[in-house]
Structure 1
Amino acid sequence: MMPKAPHVVTGNSNSPTSRIHVLEVLGNAIVGGMENYVKNLIAHLPVDDFKVTVLCPFESAFTSQLRAQGHQVFIAPLRDDPPWRTIEMICTLIRESHIDLLHAHLMNAHTVAAIAGRLTDTPTVATLHGMSLHPQEISVIRTTGSHTIVVCREAWSQAMAVGLASDTVSLVPNGIDLAVYNPVSADRSILRNAIGIGPDDLLIGFVGRLAWEKGPDKFVKAAEQILQHRPDVHFALVGTGLMENELRAAIERAGIEHNVHLAGMWQDPSKVYPSLDLMLHTSRADAMPLAILEATASGVPVVAIGVGGVPELIEAGETGLLIGTNEWPGIVSEYPGDWDGVAKAALTLIDHPERLQRMSAASVRRAAALYDIRQSAASTAQIFRQLMRVRREATRLHSVS
């Protein structure tokens, strides 16, 4: 029996007569990919149709940004084994603030939101940002009936394989604001001036948290190998994280600190990409990383290890190159070998600048066609509206029975 095609949400639907009040429940509050997804989503939900309140586990620069945008933010502890007081707080918000729908991000948030939603008969949606579903997430979905949004086909395939109902799982790819991320979103000199290199120097970037799963150590190893052949190239790691001191030590041990720059966290990444000639994405695990979408929209070709949903984002040979590894043998590439393959692929591209230019133009076209945040927000809004219609119909039938 052939599997059903994924329920990819691509359209919009008629809005309800009153605004839907959504409580966004976030399992973290750093300035990271999930948080940027939420910020982009709520900025593009139709304001005439939706009102958004946010619950986070702690105060941060991110919660300050949300409040500056006019959103009310509540703080409560979130764990995979949720504390009762957080469940109680969400139930109280549902009652006192007239919350219509819960939208959760990360497993700790999904668990608490699904329980509170079940207790109060409030529709709950969980967006799973990873490339696979954890056993607890599967259990929560089955036990509470929460609707699930996944961002890549690998996660959708797993959801179908474990027997989740196809009408309760939607595939909504990530999107970005193309008015913010584009080849002329910033002057090419901004990042270059910050790290002290010239306008004509070749610059290769890494954008993401300096954490093990993101593979910044692989980026440094690839940079070391590239520099053996092209000592004129410069590299920038944009981001912060637990591995920062470890990476700085590795760069110094390799004697490449003149060429490899730790650029720190940038509050506005759109100012970074126009400075880059190429980006290397060396994650050990990823679903649909915003960094690749942002680079693509900005006209930056990407060489990436083909984990998770990454092969869905790069048109191999046209907008970048994919690298296979022993753990991911399904990627057919002429540059196998993990970070070693990344280095070889990067050398091929930087030795052929005309090919880099063609990839840059193709990247911008692909982003315009596929990754507009307005489409992603419209698809998510359609799911919210549909769940509210189902709830209203159930309430109507109950009242007349």
Structure 2
Amino acid sequence: MNAMKILHSESSRGWGGQEVRTLKEMLALREREHTVELVCPRGAKIGVRSAELGFAVHHANMRGGGDVRSMMSIQALLRRSAFDVLNTHSGHDSLVAGTAGRLVGTPLVVRTRHLALPISSLATYTWIPHRVIAVSHYVRRYLISAGVAAGRVETIYDGIVKPEPIARSTLRAELGLGPDAVIGCMVAIMRAKKGHEDLITAARPLLAVRPNLHFVIAGNGDLFERIKSIVDGLGLGRRIHLLGFRTDIPNVLRGCDLFLLPTHQEALGQSYIEAMAAGLPVIGTNVDGVPELIEHNVNGLLVPPKNPDALRVAIVQLIDNPGLRTQLGKEGRRITENGFGIDNMADETIDFYRRSLRRLEQRA
């Protein structure tokens, strides 16, 4: 089998790490001359962006397992286009599209598990898909402990587009900050458990005594207005800069001195990979899949989750030790140069599809 026909399904209407990974994967597989299409609800952000990039985008609500209309629509699509692979990503589309795929006999139905949350439907990992992709070893171990057969689930790490060299970041000029400013950066969708309030709590005492210290937070989401009201209410709007959604994350990262994401829960953490690729020392939390990316005192620092005091200590450690920042940043860049590229993710995914199809054919 050479080129394959692959349909991705996504019932989420939002935009976060899961959707970013899926779209990057779609682009990389298309570059390898595979036919890649998407089915999602009308208005879903991944659908809008995929259409802008020239993908064929089909629409179905996929409201839940009882959405018979969506299931019939996807069955017709799968029959009409004879896809080799259906790759589902969220709970509702795994029920609706995944079941449609099994009913029409799609050769390979795959579920990708992007999250470190407890699973809500074991059937969307056992009965419906033929195989499962986990984005970290932590997620794979959890799925196996929940009842997914070890031979059905494989880890494929997130991949990032390696940043092009940037002569000079425009971030400091944008914010009116000079070369003497020390800037910490956080990139994350603004939703619960990402740790935005932990950062503010950790930063507040430092900002009172370190006039050259600033923090930038890139990302939007449901909690944006809440975080903005906290920052403004503390009078820190000139020190904690809320950038909103950005399309120039490499430019933002290059303008900073360190990266931190005090998340409470994380399957892996694309933002850490992007920061390491930019040569920044990273501060992460010792939860879920994060330690698979960050080795304490090697390419970053790990602190307990929900612990602003420990986060503050780690920030001070990096601020006051430029040599340590350089050392950790160099090691982080070295790690990403040897892995975590989008090419790695795409090649491993295609290999996984092909091996799975061969095994299913042999079993049949």
Normalising by structure 2, we get a TM-score of 0.93
Residues 195, 263 of structure 1: 8 Å contact kept: no
Residues 132, 154 of structure 1: 8 Å contact kept: no
Residues 131, 152 of structure 1: 8 Å contact kept: no
Query: 2:85 corresponds to which residue?
Result: 101
Residues 95, 128 of structure 2: 8 Å contact kept: no
Query: 2:311 corresponds to which residue?
Result: 342
Residues 33, 290 of structure 1: 8 Å contact kept: yes
Once the 2 structures are TM-superposed, how far is the Cα of residue 169 of structure 1 from its aligned partner?
0.5
For residues 24-39 of structure 1, the aligned pairs below 5 Å read 24-39=8-23
Deviation string for 1:360-381 (max 9, x for gaps)? 1111101112212211111110
CA distance in 1, matches of 2:38, 2:69: 17
Once the 2 structures are TM-superposed, how far is the Cα of residue 252 of structure 1 from its aligned partner?
2.3
Aligned length: 363
Deviation string for 1:344-367 (max 9, x for gaps)? 111111101111111111111011
For residues 50-199 of structure 1, the aligned pairs below 5 Å read 50-60=34-44, 62-122=46-106, 123-136=108-121, 138-178=122-162, 181=163, 184=165, 186-199=166-179
Query: 2:353 corresponds to which residue?
Result: 384
Deviation string for 1:89-119 (max 9, x for gaps)? 1111111122221101122222222211211
Residues 187, 275 of structure 1: 8 Å contact kept: no
The answer to whether residue 275 in structure 2 is matched with residue 295 in structure 1 is: yes
User: Residues 248 and 135 (structure 1 numbering): CA distance in 2 closer, same or farther, change over 3 Å?
Assistant: closer
User: Residues 45 and 205 (structure 1 numbering): CA distance in 2 closer, same or farther, change over 3 Å?
Assistant: same
Residues 40, 60 of structure 2: 8 Å contact kept: yes
Residues 132, 158 of structure 1: 8 Å contact kept: no
Once the 2 structures are TM-superposed, how far is the Cα of residue 150 of structure 1 from its aligned partner?
0.5
For residue 229 of structure 2, the aligned residue among 210, 230, 249 is 249
Root-mean-square deviation (Å):
2.0
* Unaligned 5+ runs, structure 2: none
User: Residues 245 and 365 (structure 1 numbering): CA distance in 2 closer, same or farther, change over 3 Å?
Assistant: same
User: Residues 201 and 257 (structure 1 numbering): CA distance in 2 closer, same or farther, change over 3 Å?
Assistant: same
For residues 261-280 of structure 1, the aligned pairs below 5 Å read 261-280=241-260
CA distance in 2, matches of 1:28, 1:145: 19
Residues 11, 61 of structure 2: 8 Å contact kept: no
Which deviates more from structure 2 when the two are superposed, residues 66-75 or residues 168-177? Answer: 66-75
For residues 188-267 of structure 1, the aligned pairs below 5 Å read 188-267=168-247
Deviation string for 1:180-238 (max 9, x for gaps)? x26x3x35432223333223311111101111121211121122132134232011110
User: Residues 247 and 48 (structure 1 numbering): CA distance in 2 closer, same or farther, change over 3 Å?
Assistant: closer
Once the 2 structures are TM-superposed, how far is the Cα of residue 78 of structure 1 from its aligned partner?
2.4
What residue identity is the alignment partner of 1:144? I
Once the 2 structures are TM-superposed, how far is the Cα of residue 343 of structure 1 from its aligned partner?
1.2
Higher relative contact order (CA 8 A, sep 6+): 1
Query: 1:7 corresponds to which residue?
Result: none
SS in structure 2 at match of 1:77:
coil
SS in structure 1 at match of 2:174:
helix
Which deviates more from structure 2 when the two are superposed, residues 366-375 or residues 40-49? Answer: 40-49
What residue identity is the alignment partner of 1:319? N
What residue identity is the alignment partner of 2:124? V
The answer to whether residue 22 in structure 2 is matched with residue 22 in structure 1 is: no
Query: 1:286 corresponds to which residue?
Result: 266
SS in structure 2 at match of 1:214:
coil
Residues 187, 217 of structure 2: 8 Å contact kept: yes
Once the 2 structures are TM-superposed, how far is the Cα of residue 47 of structure 1 from its aligned partner?
4.3
Query: 1:330 corresponds to which residue?
Result: none
For residue 335 of structure 2, the aligned residue among 349, 360, 366 is 366
* Unaligned 5+ runs, structure 1: 1-15, 326-336
Once the 2 structures are TM-superposed, how far is the Cα of residue 392 of structure 1 from its aligned partner?
4.5
CA distance in 2, matches of 1:245, 1:370: 37
CA distance in 2, matches of 1:264, 1:202: 20
Once the 2 structures are TM-superposed, how far is the Cα of residue 315 of structure 1 from its aligned partner?
1.9
CA distance in 1, matches of 2:238, 2:46: 33
Residues 286, 310 of structure 1: 8 Å contact kept: yes
CA distance in 2, matches of 1:162, 1:262: 39
Once the 2 structures are TM-superposed, how far is the Cα of residue 383 of structure 1 from its aligned partner?
1.5
Residues 60, 74 of structure 2: 8 Å contact kept: no
Deviation string for 1:124-164 (max 9, x for gaps)? 1011001244031x222222243111011221112222332
Residues 91, 124 of structure 2: 8 Å contact kept: no
What residue identity is the alignment partner of 1:211? R
The answer to whether residue 320 in structure 2 is matched with residue 351 in structure 1 is: yes
SS in structure 1 at match of 2:125:
helix
User: Residues 44 and 145 (structure 1 numbering): CA distance in 2 closer, same or farther, change over 3 Å?
Assistant: closer
User: Residues 264 and 358 (structure 1 numbering): CA distance in 2 closer, same or farther, change over 3 Å?
Assistant: same
Aligned-residue identity in percent = 26
What residue identity is the alignment partner of 1:310? V
SS in structure 2 at match of 1:344:
helix
Residues 297, 367 of structure 1: 8 Å contact kept: yes
Residues 190, 219 of structure 2: 8 Å contact kept: yes
